[in-house]
Structure 1
Amino acid sequence: MKLPTFTVVSEMIIYIRYLKDGVSKTDFISILPLPGGKADTITETLGTFLTEDLGLQLEKMCALGSDGAKVMVGRQNGVAAQLRRRVPHLVNNHCVAHRLALAVGQAAKGVPYLQKFKDIIGTSPGPKLKLVEAKDVRWLSHDKATTTLRKCLPSIYTSLEREAEERNDARAAGLSVFTQDYRFVLAIHMICDVLPHLTALSCAMQKRDAVYVTIKPLVNGTISIIQGMKSQSADNYKEAPARGTQLIDDGFRIKSPSEEQLTAFHEKIYLPFLDNLLQNLEDRFPDLPLLEKFGAFSVGSSEDDNHQDIQELARHFGVDMEQCRSNWHQVRASLEGLISQPTRP
């Protein structure tokens, strides 16, 4: 019997977001085959489709949204960089939720113990127990899972020991040793303090009607919270030593850490992780100042209040200031008209 051979097929999914009657619309447009996955090929395929098949003018394209693959967002020759050479005002929107997940993963990579923590937690010791690996782009999806893991440590330890003894499972034995260590207890409590704030930020960014102008205060607010954790530990991490003592009292093999060991964890794992996370958040959102300028379209503020923002947007998009002011009034009128419409029963 001859079996068919399957190969990788490169395709590009295209959605377009636009304004119609003052309302933001997002439509699925097409799935385009790609002869190759290189930036040059993607740029040419996309440009040809938009201009020749759809009859659109690239000069009127305001922004490009994509994932964080280097072929898309590479600074020198990525798709966004190539398009920006043709459309200088183009805003490159690397998916904000994806950026946030990568920031967490990269922060963990900068701390050797947390890298091992991530690798170990991805092993499967047996058919009844599986600890799912926290991939760089999946850290935030593990918020509830890590909270459950923290709450169920006694059950996890018991299951691992049983798998190791009854099934002679070497992986379960290794996991049992690794997790019954004071550093693991401290780390899981630390992660449980950080992830909820980052998950909330990610969810806010993924709302259907998320507004550009809200991104900067949301990111800055999260940065402020994490910055505060450096000087004053959050609840879970603060109670971690007592939790370790309770686990020891329950008969598990955790050794009580000395003050020197607790200090070493704080200085070599806790603080570096928070510092790396803060730096990653700041590095991965460099376009916040421009996005904040779109607050000029907020209903309720006057042209005088937003004059500087309008001027900077006009300069960025290469639009005549008088034309921009006229368009600003039209858009504001449309938005105010939509808000003033009575709600249908």
Structure 2
Amino acid sequence: MDGAAVMSSDLNGVTGLLHRDNPYTVAVHCVCHRLHLAASQAAKDIPQMKSASLLVDSIYNYVMKSPNRLAEFKAMVDVLGEDYIKLKHVFEIRWLSMGEAIQSVLRNYRALAVYTEEQAAAGDPTAIGLHQQLTSYLPVALLHLLADVLDATNHLSRLFQYRDITFSSLRTQLTECLDSLEAMRQVDGPKLERFRTSVRQSGQFRETPIQMRVGRGGRDPLVELDNIKAVFLERILENLRARFPRVDLLEAMKVFEPAAYPADDNNVALAYWGRRELTTLLDHYAEQKQTRDGNVCEGYIDRYICEGQFGAFKQAVAARFKGEERVDEDGEATFHFYRPTELLQKMFGGRNADNQRIFGEVFKLMCCCLIVLVSNAEAERVFSCQNRIKTKTRTLLGIEQLDRLIRLSYARIPMPEFDFPAAREMYLRAPRRL
């Protein structure tokens, strides 16, 4: 789900209504939405950071929304002998757009500074304002600070948009992101450090003189940058920690992830492995809970039976269901660890269906865990696919037809394998209005 109150509110939102009927429901706020909101809300209440974000929008609007200015800007890039990087727009509904937009401004920085200087000399009032900001120390430094922070959060966002993201990677990747941001409180990120060093040594950045303009109240821009940086990083770290409250429960689900198991020859480690994670899962799914309406719900899982079955389950996974050799496109054979959904199918499906009775409580716990999505990026891909199909000129598409088209698009059938004659015959047989 996203962060809208109608979805996430634990009182009258969808989450709250589900918890009213089933207190064992796990609500997963999309990781990518959380990262986007953490960064945007951390910057929202800091006027200087908000101004830096508006500067990116203003540059895009000034250059990209005028064909004449865009052509002049491209010509300027050619004259300077630099590569033209398309300026990006900031979209509130696109998680990575702010980082991409800032990167495009910084990579075009020299050309933008020269172009706005030229237009300002011709008397363009917008160019005068943009050039003043592009040659002032604080606004440009804040763009570099934002770029460093968004590099860390966008990297994490991209990881959680992978189709095969696993339970065990959630805490690891989140911790690495938090550690990177914590380090920036003590040491500048690479982009901000490069900017500071260049200005300190030559008074310029990428051959553009940087003015140490004093802000309102006579504040020194160097001191103000350090103060803003400290507040911004503190807020974004607080937001990230507050927005990931159930990481322990999701990480505990790695007991159903063969790649997380100890090495094959370490039976002692295997015997102790996963006990803490199993306890975390059973504390949620096996304990009696009470709804806000006073109804008592019995746990889904029998704790004592599940604990007894878990040791044999681990041994079976380690011995027979950890994975298999697979040959890649280059003919190289590599060992493939089963993903949790593959493990469920291999261990409890087909000829191994009897394991559903042998490991009954573990099987139920595994089913409860696998319906929880670590990331809903796949759902967002379906929405994008739907928007590509149901355009403004196709608003009369029915639900069933739209569903079929989405499934066809998502199947990604290679064109050489598509049976066009059969599709033509089906089309000709179907009744149509003339």
Q: Given the alignment of the two structures, is residue 271 of structure 1 paired with residue 230 of structure 2, yes or no?
A: yes
Q: Given the alignment of the two structures, is residue 160 of structure 1 paired with residue 128 of structure 2, yes or no?
A: no
Q: Give the conservation status (yes or no) of the 8 Å contact 2:5–2:13.
A: yes
* Residue of structure 2 in register with 1:243 after alignment: 198
* Residue of structure 1 in register with 2:175 after alignment: 220
Alpha-carbon offset, residue 208 of structure 1: 0.7
**DSSP-derived class of the 1:342 partner:** strand
| Paired residues for 1:164-179 under 5 Å | 164-166=120-122, 169-179=124-134
Choose which of 140, 151, 160 in structure 2 pairs with 1:205.
160
* Residue of structure 2 in register with 1:196 after alignment: 151
* Residue of structure 1 in register with 2:20 after alignment: 85
Q: Structure 1 or 2: larger strand share?
A: 1
**DSSP-derived class of the 2:27 partner:** strand
Q: Give the conservation status (yes or no) of the 8 Å contact 2:120–2:128.
A: yes
Q: Cα gap change, 1:262/1:336 in structure 2, threshold over 3 Å: closer, same or farther?
A: farther
TM-score (norm 2): 0.57
Alpha-carbon offset, residue 161 of structure 1: 3.0
| Paired residues for 1:77-156 under 5 Å | 77-123=12-58, 124-126=61-63, 127=66, 128=70, 132-135=88-91, 138=94, 140-156=96-112
* Residue of structure 2 in register with 1:342 after alignment: 325
* Residue of structure 2 in register with 1:311 after alignment: 279
Please give the alpha-carbon distance, in whole angstroms, between the structure 1 residues aligned to 2:162 and 2:255.
21
Q: Cα gap change, 1:342/1:261 in structure 2, threshold over 3 Å: closer, same or farther?
A: closer
Q: Cα gap change, 1:120/1:234 in structure 2, threshold over 3 Å: closer, same or farther?
A: closer
Q: What are the Cα deviations for residues 275-316 of structure 1, in whole angstroms up to 9, with x where unaligned?
A: 111111101111112112113234334353222321331231
* Residue of structure 1 in register with 2:359 after alignment: none
Alpha-carbon offset, residue 246 of structure 1: 4.8
Q: Give the conservation status (yes or no) of the 8 Å contact 1:122–1:131.
A: no
Choose which of 63, 67, 76 in structure 1 pairs with 2:11.
76
Q: Cα gap change, 1:179/1:137 in structure 2, threshold over 3 Å: closer, same or farther?
A: farther
Tell which structure's C-alpha radius of gyration is larger. 2
Q: Give the conservation status (yes or no) of the 8 Å contact 1:310–1:324.
A: no
Which residue identity lines up with residue 279 of structure 2 in the other structure? Q
* Residue of structure 2 in register with 1:233 after alignment: 188
Q: Give the conservation status (yes or no) of the 8 Å contact 1:125–1:160.
A: no
Q: What are the Cα deviations for residues 150-195 of structure 1, in whole angstroms up to 9, with x where unaligned?
A: 23312011222334455x5433332222222111221122122222
**DSSP-derived class of the 1:341 partner:** strand
**DSSP-derived class of the 1:94 partner:** coil
Q: What are the Cα deviations for residues 50-99 of structure 1, in whole angstroms up to 9, with x where unaligned?
A: xxxxxxxxxxxxxxxx1222211113111012112212111111110111
**DSSP-derived class of the 2:165 partner:** coil
**Sequence identity percentage:** 26
Matched pairs, number: 277
Q: Cα gap change, 1:330/1:86 in structure 2, threshold over 3 Å: closer, same or farther?
A: farther
Q: Cα gap change, 1:115/1:249 in structure 2, threshold over 3 Å: closer, same or farther?
A: closer
Alpha-carbon offset, residue 265 of structure 1: 1.6
Alpha-carbon offset, residue 250 of structure 1: 4.2
Q: Give the conservation status (yes or no) of the 8 Å contact 2:42–2:235.
A: yes
* Residue of structure 1 in register with 2:222 after alignment: 262
Q: Cα gap change, 1:97/1:282 in structure 2, threshold over 3 Å: closer, same or farther?
A: same
Could you list the runs of 5+ residues in structure 1 that have no partner in the other structure?
A: 1-65
Please give the alpha-carbon distance, in whole angstroms, between the structure 2 residues aligned to 1:297 and 1:249.
52
Alpha-carbon offset, residue 103 of structure 1: 0.7
Q: Given the alignment of the two structures, is residue 285 of structure 1 paired with residue 244 of structure 2, yes or no?
A: yes
**DSSP-derived class of the 1:312 partner:** helix
* Residue of structure 2 in register with 1:12 after alignment: none
Q: Give the conservation status (yes or no) of the 8 Å contact 1:216–1:292.
A: yes
Q: Give the conservation status (yes or no) of the 8 Å contact 1:105–1:137.
A: no
Q: Cα gap change, 1:315/1:180 in structure 2, threshold over 3 Å: closer, same or farther?
A: same
Could you list the runs of 5+ residues in structure 2 that have no partner in the other structure?
A: 74-85, 263-269, 286-298, 332-434
Q: Give the conservation status (yes or no) of the 8 Å contact 2:195–2:205.
A: no
Which residue identity lines up with residue 39 of structure 2 in the other structure? V
Please give the alpha-carbon distance, in whole angstroms, between the structure 2 residues aligned to 1:213 and 1:134.
32
Q: Cα gap change, 1:75/1:159 in structure 2, threshold over 3 Å: closer, same or farther?
A: farther
Alpha-carbon offset, residue 343 of structure 1: 1.6
Query: RMSD between aligned alpha carbons?
Result: 2.9
| Paired residues for 1:314-325 under 5 Å | 314-317=282-285, 318=299, 319-325=301-307
Q: Give the conservation status (yes or no) of the 8 Å contact 1:118–1:134.
A: no
Moved more, 169-178 or 151-160: 169-178
Which residue identity lines up with residue 240 of structure 1 in the other structure? F
Please give the alpha-carbon distance, in whole angstroms, between the structure 2 residues aligned to 1:250 and 1:161.
13
Please give the alpha-carbon distance, in whole angstroms, between the structure 2 residues aligned to 1:71 and 1:328.
42
**DSSP-derived class of the 2:28 partner:** strand
